[in-house]
Amino acid sequence: MVTTFGGLEAGGTKFICVVGDGPDSIVDSERIEVTGPGETIPAAVAFFRRALDRGIELEAIGIGSFGPLELRPGHPRFGSILSTPKPGWSGADILGPVRDLGLPVAIDTDVDAAALGEGRWGAARGLRSFIYLTIGTGIGGGALVDGRVVHGLVHPEMGHVAVSRRPGDGFPGVCPFHRDCWEGLASGPAIGARFGRPAETLAGPDRDEAVAIAAFYLAAGVRSLVYALAPDRVVVGGGLGSMPGLIESARRELVTQLAGYPGLPEHADATFLVPAALGAMAGPAGTLALAELAGRG
């Protein structure tokens, strides 16, 4: 018998199921394309049931899901998705069907899970206060303060904060709720709408302009987070977050936008705003870290 953990990264376009102890010890995995909750969630549960049937002794399972999520343990909808623009998924119970396997289960947002992964094995290893941001289809963030993931009445929704506009930018924004929040101005779909084609297809001057736009808004968002949460480091992941030159440009822009306040040299250091070290494995690895927490009770 092998004692290990299960992890489910429940993303908006794909579910990634893993079995292992960390990013370098994945013994089984499966990618499930997202359709409706009635098909996708049972397919994920079936993955873990097959692992159990093969004699893999899963100690616990961690779930990192897209949201927004109800994460108050005493709430009747604990573990369910709240109001999401993803058709058919509002109200979907992510936690319940996995709990039916009879194992300890922990659930958090996908970005909080990725933050745990980067803190355990990646670019924030050894730090107790940091922020993980993902910039792609949306913009999301997870924060650890004094070693604990930040939750409240709801989990943080960093991508929906208001940010200062880049001078001369008249783009209306694409967020269906707020139009020109951070996500509405600088997510992957926002960059695609600005240029009429996906960000990853841009080249030449268009690509340079896209990097400049994304860097300005990344710095604008991080500026607010610096003042609100005082992180030791900000780690950036996601497809758009890995654009060549983005992090370097955003570092310079952040110094400009902080405008000398509070005047800490650490904010200008190359170790403050950094790319994610685990890449696409941050989320799946983080779900295993969540599972370990669940196994401890």
Q: Which tens digits make up the pLDDT trace of 135-149? A: 998 999 999 999 999
- At 101, phi and psi to the nearest 5? -70, -15
For the chain, report the end-to-end CA distance as a whole number of angstroms.
Answer: 22
Rounded CA-CA distance 285/288 in Å is 5
Rounded CA-CA distance 266/253 in Å is 15
Q: What is the pLDDT of residue 92?
A: 97
- Contact predicate 62/291, CB 8 Å: yes
Distances in Å between the alpha carbon of 214 and those of 55, 60, 172, 220, 241? Answer: 47, 39, 15, 10, 9
pLDDT tens string, the chain, 297 residues long: the values are 556 999 999 998 899 999 999 999 999 999 999 999 999 999 999 999 999 999 999 999 999 999 899 999 999 999 999 988 889 999 999 999 999 999 999 999 999 999 999 999 999 999 999 999 999 989 999 999 999 999 988 898 999 999 999 999 999 999 999 999 999 999 999 999 999 999 999 999 999 999 999 999 999 999 999 999 999 999 999 999 999 999 999 999 999 999 999 999 999 999 999 999 999 899 999 999 999 988 776
- Contact predicate 58/19, CB 8 Å: yes
Pairing of strands 2-10, 56-65: parallel
Rounded CA-CA distance 268/251 in Å is 7
Q: What is the pLDDT of residue 256?
A: 98
Rounded CA-CA distance 58/198 in Å is 40
Using DSSP's 3-state secondary structure scheme, residue 61 falls into strand
